[in-house]
Structure 1
Amino acid sequence: MKFKKPRFWMQWIRRFCQLVFFVLFIILAWNLHFLDEGNSTGIYKIFFHLDPLIFLLTLLSTWTLAGLSLLCISTVIITFLLGRVFCGWFCPFGTLHTFFTWLAQSGKKKKEYQNRTSAHRVKYFILFAMLGMSLFGGHWFGIFDPFSFFYRALSTGIFPAFHIAIEESSTAIYKEDPKILGFPITKISEPIYQKLRTHVLKMSQKTFYTEGTIITFTLLLVIGLNFVRPRFWCRYMCPLGGLLGLISQKPLLRLKNDESTCINCRQCSKACPAGAQPDQRGNWLPTECFVCWNCVASCRSDSISFQFQIPGKKAIATGKLDYPRRTVLTAMATGTVGLLGFRVAPQSKQGQPFPETLIRPPGSRNEREFLQRCIQCGACMRVCPTNAIQPAGIEGGWEALWTPKLVPKIGYCLYSCNMCGQVCPTQAIQPIPLLEKQKTKIGLATFDKGRCIPYSYGRECLVCEEHCPLSPKAIYLVERDVTLRDGRVVKIKQPEVDPNLCIGCGFCEWSCVFQDKAAIRVTTANESRNTKNQPILVFEDTYPTGTENNSSQSPY
């Protein structure tokens, strides 16, 4: 069953598919920020659900199917039948690398033959290292997973930079009001800005991320490697590509090089972005081939074609995966040792919050299980309407790198929102109902009475109490006598925190009049998910009187 040419038509179909899925990925990632409460979130997680690497390693690290999607089976079946078409036709990250590979090669004559090298083993090494880590309960592959990598960079770097560029360039043009031949540029720029502001930015505020610069730099670095070798990431580093390579060792769709017509010009080898060796008869590598059709289009003698392997007919010979078992064991051992290196850090001590500012979003599982599920994709950060959820640095240990944390000084957890749990593709943040979320404690607010205005400066300030969203409020006012410098005694309302009511949303810290260091700050104390981090236990009587009956009710 042979595909006939025009030689370029399959290339253009492939490019069209790449463009469609790339645009879909960008649109879904962009629109997630504007998702309203109650809207279906399934379509926004579809790319993560198609990723068998996420499914496999999360399953191995948690030993449960809860929160996982079986949609990835379709990717496995397609790969088993057709080879790595997912990498060449559908993966949006692969499309990005295809574009920059084309950019790097445009205008240049292809001189190098693309063959397999020992560097092709690196992606399998990363895959098996992550596999070894997952078998012992580690889950760090989100750093390398292509969907998580790309989505994280878009959410924390590319999209915020795009928003800032529009806002600041439009503002600069508006202020300067430049003219060309007496015609004001603002008559063109302002209508465009208003359209973008209304329909693209949708009147949203600019967002900022603590690790956004580093995350974006890693993306630019990986993109730049395409100028060293075509599709460098896909060829040498992508663990998902490694997994799909293992599945596609004997696909039904295979490349045939007709010996009777081949003139050994090796143009197919130069055109191959994967180093799959289409010029070597019987040694074509289905584990590396993206099925991009470049080799077929470049063949001058029409000797190369993709054919289905018909059962019962002579098999079309292929090359074998070059990855010794000893290297597999070495990679898995490396992953296990790496996990042990993560776990010797004090942050990994079970039940111990470290540091106190590592506040997880509401619905987060206990820390160990949370890290076994989180793929560092940044979806929760993108959907957060107040910009409160930020990528963590290494304050929670290397295992927690780029996982989500709440930073109240940047934004607060909106009382009427539970979207972070709705969009999490692995349920590291559980999709809890809104009423349950409003009772979930993620931390506890504490006053710094050396900075709080009513305590230190003898003046009234009610900002934190006014902004507390709870009813009854977790921050209440107590009127006390305060002696001023001149000896006068005045009554000042001083705020206090009710630990039974405070859920740690951070609205008080965000709204504090001190912009440098808030006089009221939220830490992880009393979080619902960690019973070992609840120093302020709940009294049956909120305000015990000290009588014999009440004193017997002390939870301590």
Structure 2
Amino acid sequence: MKSKAWHVRQFKRKPIQYVRMSVQIVFSIFLLYVGFRFFQFYNHFASLGIEPYVERPAAVEGFLPVSALVALKVWIFTGEFDHIHPAGLLLFTFFIGSGLLFRKTFCSWICPIGTLSEWTARLGKMIFRKNFDIPKWISWLLIPLKYLLLLFFIKIIVIDMPIDFAWDFLQEPYNKVSDVKMLLFFLNLGGFALKVILVVFILSLFFPNFWCRYLCPYGALIGLGTIFGVTKIERNEDTCIDCRQCTRVCPQRIKVHEKMAVLTPDCTACMSCVEACPVKDTLNMTVATKKVNKWIIPSVFFGLFVLMIIIAKLTGNWNTNITYKEFLELIPYIDRIGH
């Protein structure tokens, strides 16, 4: 039997986690760039053309999940594709559908909130020398919150909203500038919203991924695709040495060492547990019960993600059909639109 020290050395070899962190950093920088370009776009119209014009980055629509959910409903029931926020609809549909095969890869690799939550937990570990676990009974009380939030949106949009009303909503001025509304919300953050963000940030310092684990309805919706169990982490009990390293490294605090297969919707396919396991073929990612290389899931996810964007651009289903003239009529008077 190999020594315990040998196992510890193996735990330090984490190439996929270095790649994942690099992707998180690069994607975060890209989103900051998108945000800056979008601000410049907004500033041109808000200044009535005094500031230089910058083309609106379509990627900003990824931050409009409510509008995208309405658009998805209209698309499914009428066949009418939303060209107000087409990129938002495609991104939302892709990320939700990806849960079936890739679990919550979106959450652990490119979601900006997921990245911020994970890095906040690392900061907390640096400050307090460790992260903390919420008592199990409190955790069980908190887990339903994200599903209740998800149920709220499903009820008011998918169940209660008439299809004609949903179509009208997509054409309304409010929806057309909902991305600008979102920008102004973050630029003028304060009051109750700021307090909530500060509370979640402080909790995340102590308890890893607090928002993702207990409050995120978007992640909850993506996670529903995992209930079919097409993709999962499987553990070989015969070769497991019960070192519990898989559980220690899991950002979602899943008790991997206790499970034959990780079927929980909270698994984000980050591969931390697979990479941390010191015994070959004890923890494996499987697709339809077939073992696959740990790089397959993120690689195929990103391959399809890029392919989807390329096809959308080539077919004219990526950029909005809102004209320059419409933006000029709406953005300078945005305070009068909606709430």
TM-score for both structures, normalised by structure 1: 0.41
Cα shift at 1:97: 0.5
**Quick one: distance in 1 between partners of 2:202 and 2:122?**
12
Cα 1:58–1:277, aligned 2, differ >3 Å: closer, same or farther? farther
Task: Pick from 153, 163, 166 the counterpart of residue 130 of structure 1.
Answer: 153
**Quick one: distance in 1 between partners of 2:119 and 2:324?**
42
Letter in 2 for 1:232: F
**Quick one: distance in 1 between partners of 2:240 and 2:22?**
30
Partner of 1:90: 110
**Which structure dedicates a bigger proportion of its chain to helix?**
2
2:58/2:319 contact within 8 Å kept: no
Cα 1:9–1:110, aligned 2, differ >3 Å: closer, same or farther? same
Letter in 2 for 1:434: K
Cα shift at 1:111: 6.9
- Describe the superposition over 1:200-249 as per-residue Cα deviations: whole angstroms up to 9, x where unpaired: xxxxxxxxx4x535433332222122134210000010000110010122
Task: Pick from 254, 273, 278 the counterpart of residue 276 of structure 1.
Answer: 254
Cα shift at 1:266: 2.3
In structure 2, the residue corresponding to 1:254 is in which secondary structure?
strand
Partner of 1:256: 234
- Describe the superposition over 1:304-329 as per-residue Cα deviations: whole angstroms up to 9, x where unpaired: 43323256x69xxxxxxxxxxxxxxx
**Quick one: distance in 1 between partners of 2:16 and 2:98?**
18
**Quick one: distance in 2 between partners of 1:47 and 1:120?**
25
Partner of 1:20: 26
Matches within 5 A, 1:63-142: 65-66=81-82, 67-69=84-86, 70-72=89-91, 73-106=93-126, 108-109=129-130, 112=133, 117-134=140-157, 135-137=159-161
Letter in 2 for 1:84: K
**Quick one: distance in 1 between partners of 2:251 and 2:112?**
16
Cα 1:236–1:112, aligned 2, differ >3 Å: closer, same or farther? closer
Partner of 1:218: 196
- Describe the superposition over 1:26-72 as per-residue Cα deviations: whole angstroms up to 9, x where unpaired: 121123222357643243425337x5x65224544997643343423
- Describe the superposition over 1:111-141 as per-residue Cα deviations: whole angstroms up to 9, x where unpaired: 75997734222211110112112232399xx
Stretches of structure 1 lacking an aligned partner (at least 5 in a row) = 140-147, 161-208, 315-424, 443-503, 507-522, 530-556
Letter in 1 for 2:256: P
2:108/2:115 contact within 8 Å kept: yes
Partner of 1:41: 56
In structure 2, the residue corresponding to 1:306 is in which secondary structure?
strand
2:103/2:231 contact within 8 Å kept: yes
Cα shift at 1:278: 1.4
Letter in 2 for 1:224: I
Partner of 2:172: none
In structure 1, the residue corresponding to 2:257 is in which secondary structure?
coil
Cα 1:237–1:8, aligned 2, differ >3 Å: closer, same or farther? same
**Quick one: distance in 1 between partners of 2:242 and 2:220?**
30
Aligned length, in residue pairs: 268
2:96/2:221 contact within 8 Å kept: no
Identical counterparts, % of pairs: 23
Larger Rg: 1
Partner of 1:32: 38
**Quick one: distance in 2 between partners of 1:273 and 1:128?**
25
Cα 1:239–1:56, aligned 2, differ >3 Å: closer, same or farther? same
RMSD over equivalenced CA pairs, Å: 4.2
Matches within 5 A, 1:155-304: 156=185, 209=188, 212-302=190-280, 304=282
**Quick one: distance in 2 between partners of 1:287 and 1:262?**
23
In structure 2, the residue corresponding to 1:255 is in which secondary structure?
strand
Letter in 1 for 2:60: K
Letter in 2 for 1:47: G
**Quick one: distance in 2 between partners of 1:235 and 1:221?**
15
**Quick one: distance in 1 between partners of 2:216 and 2:194?**
18
Q: Is 1:434 aligned to residue 325 of structure 2?
A: yes
Cα shift at 1:259: 1.1
Cα 1:254–1:435, aligned 2, differ >3 Å: closer, same or farther? closer
In structure 1, the residue corresponding to 2:259 is in which secondary structure?
coil
Cα shift at 1:7: 4.2
Cα 1:48–1:310, aligned 2, differ >3 Å: closer, same or farther? same
**Quick one: distance in 2 between partners of 1:277 and 1:54?**
36
Cα shift at 1:437: 5.2
- Describe the superposition over 1:342-394 as per-residue Cα deviations: whole angstroms up to 9, x where unpaired: xxxxxxxxxxxxxxxxxxxxxxxxxxxxxxxxxxxxxxxxxxxxxxxxxxxxx
Higher relative contact order (Cα pairs below 8 Å, separated by 6+ residues): 2
Cα shift at 1:268: 2.0
